[in-house]
Structures are given as structure tokens and as C-alpha cells.
A = this chain, B = another copy of it.
């Protein structure tokens, strides 16, 4: 395809959006590997071959960069939740479907950022919004568990604590799983979900 150096208004808008996205991708990678504080915006810029003010041209400040990253991740989780709601089968089946997606997402770039970002590093306002978004995901998970209990496919457990237990277990790979070596995210996800839903004790 022939690309002319003369862009239409629409093309320029798209290009700007792509660059913005590229900044976020580069940022989230560095945040995940080095940690938010250790990754400077100079580093992020350098990894893209540009200079720091370019980042400010596309995003407000470091806090906003991080907030956008976690928002991307939360959105993926939200999508997984609504997909699970439409999944056929029992409540347990739907929950399992969600859990597997949840695990896979949190092993990806933006999902991992959601897990690794603790509230204190965000500005007070962003932290509030972030908590709110996370609460939404937690709510979705609790709803699925409750449905499963209602239709008898899940044992009557403390819903709140069960949600935390499941999320906690599935969040952990975000801290150790390396995409390069060993098991695929899918394998890990499936096995963990099996352990969680089946329990340890033999039947």
C-alpha cells in the first residue's frame, strides 16, 4: 500500500492515537520490569527513541501515564467479566471461564500492571478512581460466585472471602510468571483454576 507523506485530518488523528498507544506500551513494560519509581519517563522516552517532552505532548504526567495503563488492564478484565456472564452452562462453568481469562489477562502487560500497581504510587484522585474500577471487577467476580451458589454448582461459601481467595491466587503469577520461559499463560491459568475449584483434598 502506498503511503503518502501528506496525511488527511483523519489519518493524522489515527497516527496521534497510535503514538499515544506506543507510549503506553513502552511505559507499561518498563513499569512492570523495573517498577514504577525506578522507571523514569526519560527511560520510557529513550526506549521509544524520543525525548521526555514528547511524552508530555501525548499524556499529561507520570501519574496519568500509569493510570491509563491500569485502566487499559481493568478494561480487559471488565470485558472478560461480561463475556463470562454470557457464557453458557452452570454458575461454576461461567466462573471458571472468567477465572481463566482473568489469569491470562493478568499475565499480560496491562493486566500485570493492574496487579503490580499499589494505590499509594498513584495520586490521591487516580488512586480513588483505580480503587473504584477494581471494586467493579471484584463485584463481577462475587456475582458469578453467588450465582453458582444459587444454582447449586458451587458450595455455599463466604462469597466475599472466596472472591478474594480466587483473585489473590490468580494475581500471583503477575509477580513471578515470565512469558519467555516455561509454561504458557494458558497452561498456568487452566491448572490454577482446576486447583482452586477442585480443592486439594481428594474426593
A118 interfacial contact with B, CB 8 Å: yes
Q: How many copies does the complex hold?
A: 2
A171 interfacial contact with B, CB 8 Å: yes
- Report yes or no: A164 in contact with B172, Cβ–Cβ below 8 A: yes
**Which stretch from A58-66, A77-85, A155-163 is at the chain B interface?**
A155-163
A49 interfacial contact with B, CB 8 Å: no
Q: Mark contacts of A136-173 with chain B using CB atoms, 8 A cut-off: 1 yes-contact digit, 0 otherwise.
A: 00000000010010001111011001101111111111
Given contacts A197-B200, A200-B155, A202-B152, contact A172 B161 (CB under 8 A): no
Which of B118, B154, B157, B196 is in CB contact (< 8 Å) with A175? B118
Which of B34, B176, B201 is in CB contact (< 8 Å) with A198? B201
> From residue A183, how far is it (CB to closest CB) to chain B in Å?
8
**CA–CA, A176 to B200, complex, Å?**
25
Given contacts A121-B38, A199-B198, contact A170 B173 (CB under 8 A): no
Q: Mark contacts of A24-61 with chain B using CB atoms, 8 A cut-off: 1 yes-contact digit, 0 otherwise.
A: 00000000011101100000000000000000000000
> From residue A164, how far is it (CB to closest CB) to chain B in Å?
6
- Report yes or no: B200 in contact with A157, Cβ–Cβ below 8 A: yes
> From residue A83, how far is it (CB to closest CB) to chain B in Å?
20
- Report yes or no: A34 in contact with B120, Cβ–Cβ below 8 A: yes
> From residue A170, how far is it (CB to closest CB) to chain B in Å?
7
* Residues in B neighbouring A169, C-beta threshold 8 A: 165-166, 168-169, 172, 196
**Which stretch from A1-9, A14-22, A187-195 is at the chain B interface?**
A187-195
- Report yes or no: B202 in contact with A199, Cβ–Cβ below 8 A: no
**CA–CA, A118 to B38, complex, Å?**
12
- Report yes or no: B200 in contact with A92, Cβ–Cβ below 8 A: yes
Q: Mark contacts of A66-106 with chain B using CB atoms, 8 A cut-off: 1 yes-contact digit, 0 otherwise.
A: 00000000000000000000000000100100000000000
